[in-house]
A and B are shown apart, each in its own frame.
Chain A
């Protein structure tokens, strides 16, 4: 049966796909917050973003094994990853922050391989999962199901987004971060310790990813090679949404999740990833065309 026909015959399926897509997209949006932050403030594209998510998942896993309630895994993962992010900045990242964006891209790429492989050695390549104890909401007579943990993820995205926004607007450090993003040199002249700002930003990014990772392991599974999918999607979301606008990041994230889900349904799961990457290329080209330089000749 053709998937498209199926969609028309049972429009209720679209509802399910949409809901699922949005909920899935919200976790991508979470990863994207951090990516946008680091890119905007430090002018760096963090290719190891997905690896932070993956590590957050493992932290939550081990925290639960140590007896913590699964939900406490979220702040636990955020805390551990915050520290890790700070350490990484102090050891490696600070050296590439003021260099070419391309150099930082490669450096974080190297980091991502390092982390991935270390995770494989230390945790093993096994697929693991964590039970949150939550159930499923069934709507419309069984036609539409909403997984409660996914709703928690969605809520977390919104809450964390709001918190982040408040932090950036109201707190001193937040303002320092925004100032540095606008003009690092001027900020330094005005007395802001940009090095500390960068460290905090990077650590914050890692923390947000860690929280996302905890949600991921409770919703799906975790394994050492999880990361790339999140890196790519968070990048795409940021490209579409632009750097300054957190609300746009959420919208883009939800949109991407929904688009991907529909694509997986209509085109078959094997083309889902191809769709995502092709979409990336298309978006970039289109965006460039809109912003474009147009060759004009003086006659």
Chain B
């Protein structure tokens, strides 16, 4: 077996698993679809938080926006199901990007925790505004059109849609990280002032990074709105206190600033959540709080971070004996 084929094998294995999963585990299609969405959440968050060092608590804004935009287009455009869905998703990709570009000019100047809290406020404000606006159903939310097809077809369709979207996101991110963009964004994370001084137009890169997140998140929102069948402004669309924070946690759990870290983190987090929900009836939220504390306190470098520190050679990092910290840390 050649080297390149051997490298590809794990990817192919995952791909094969992903393709057969809905048929092997038909009862879990919604959870599986959500798994892909979670992976997407973690990946898109990581662009900002991990690669660029701008911890955003408001990415959920784009998700919710995409969800509503898609639903409104589906409701008002007068198209039949698939064209309507397609148009909706297209709009769901575009509008959040516009919003990101516009808001970015104001918010991306904020540093560190101010940016984090500012975006958190944004996410929650969006939820509040959405629940007051009658055009999109106010507090009662909206319902997405019924999927044409037999029982169960909807879940399968949206499972694959989520899988495709998540994969595309992953590949797109891999491409941009390996180029100039990735270097620039990392430079911003490492020392923004120096990067700026070296002539890097940081604002532009920050806005692009946020827009990329917005692009994929918006489409994810459109998909989830249709997967669930209904939209609730606070619990589903702008779920700041749940998904909004989970995306951060998943990326951290897996190891932020890496490509596979968010994927691993999202998978583990999502599975753990589902297991809690099934087996800890009534106490699952308590367990979740505990889990979050544990992750953040004991695993801030994430699983990949921990693995890299433990087995640096396996990751192609050379450790020189003299380079070890005197403290042994």
Q: Does B292 contact A (CB under 8 A)?
A: yes
| With A95-B297, A274-B129 as contacts: A284 and B117 at CB distance below 8 Å | yes
B290-329, CB < 8 A from A: 290-298, 300
Q: Does B110 contact A (CB under 8 A)?
A: yes
Number of A-B residue pairs with CB-CB distance less than 8 Å in the complex they form: 121
| With A273-B128, A281-B122 as contacts: A114 and B286 at CB distance below 8 Å | yes
A45 near B132 with CB under 8 A, answer no
B255-296, CB < 8 A from A: 282-283, 285-286, 288-296
Q: Does B249 contact A (CB under 8 A)?
A: yes
Interface string of A159-180 (1 = CB under 8 A from B): 0000000000000000000000
State the interface size on chain B (CB cutoff 8 A).
43
Closest approach, in angstroms, between the C-beta of A109 and any C-beta of chain B? 6
A285 near B107 with CB under 8 A, answer yes
A115 near B107 with CB under 8 A, answer no
Tell me the complex Cα distance, A121–B286, Å. 9
A contact residues around B116 at 8 Å (CB): 102, 105
Q: Does B39 contact A (CB under 8 A)?
A: no
| With A121-B283, A277-B128, A280-B121 as contacts: A107 and B296 at CB distance below 8 Å | yes
Closest approach, in angstroms, between the C-beta of A94 and any C-beta of chain B? 10
Q: Does A52 contact B (CB under 8 A)?
A: no
B128 near A114 with CB under 8 A, answer no
A278 near B125 with CB under 8 A, answer yes
B113 near A105 with CB under 8 A, answer yes
B82-130, CB < 8 A from A: 106-107, 109-110, 112-114, 116-118, 121-122, 124-125, 128-129
A114 near B290 with CB under 8 A, answer yes
The 8 Å CB contact of A277, one of B121, B289, B291, B298, is B121
Among listed A8-16, A19-27, A211-219, A287-295, interface-contacting one: A287-295
Closest approach, in angstroms, between the C-beta of A65 and any C-beta of chain B? 25
| With A109-B245, A111-B289, A117-B286 as contacts: A284 and B118 at CB distance below 8 Å | yes
Closest approach, in angstroms, between the C-beta of B18 and any C-beta of chain A? 30
Closest approach, in angstroms, between the C-beta of B232 and any C-beta of chain A? 15
Closest approach, in angstroms, between the C-beta of A44 and any C-beta of chain B? 10
State the interface size on chain A (CB cutoff 8 A).
45
Chain B residue nearest to A281 (CB atoms) is B121
Tell me the complex Cα distance, A289–B118, Å. 14
The 8 Å CB contact of B289, one of A110, A274, A278, is A110
- Interface of chain A: mostly helix, strand, loop or mixed: helix
Tell me the complex Cα distance, A292–B111, Å. 11
Q: Does B171 contact A (CB under 8 A)?
A: no
B122 near A277 with CB under 8 A, answer yes
| With A117-B286, A235-B117, A239-B114 as contacts: A281 and B296 at CB distance below 8 Å | no
A285 near B118 with CB under 8 A, answer yes
Q: Does B186 contact A (CB under 8 A)?
A: no
A111 near B293 with CB under 8 A, answer yes
A contact residues around B124 at 8 Å (CB): 232, 273, 277
Q: Does B55 contact A (CB under 8 A)?
A: yes
B132 near A102 with CB under 8 A, answer no
B contact residues around A105 at 8 Å (CB): 113, 116
The 8 Å CB contact of A115, one of B110, B248, B283, B289, is B289
Q: Does A144 contact B (CB under 8 A)?
A: no
B289 near A280 with CB under 8 A, answer no
Q: Which residues of A contact B (CB under 8 A)?
A: 45, 92, 95-96, 99-103, 105-107, 109-118, 120-121, 228, 232, 235, 239, 268, 270-271, 273-274, 277-278, 280-281, 284-285, 287-289, 292-293, 295
10 new A-B contacts at CB < 8 Å, known A113-B285, A113-B288, A277-B128 = A95-B298, A105-B116, A106-B296, A107-B297, A110-B289, A239-B117, A281-B122, A284-B114, A284-B121, A293-B109
| Complex A-B: 24 CB contacts under 8 Å | A45-B113, A95-B297, A95-B298, A96-B296, A99-B300, A102-B116, A109-B292, A110-B294, A111-B289, A113-B285, A114-B292, A116-B285, A117-B283, A121-B282, A228-B241, A271-B128, A273-B124, A277-B122, A278-B129, A280-B121, A280-B125, A284-B118, A284-B121, A285-B118
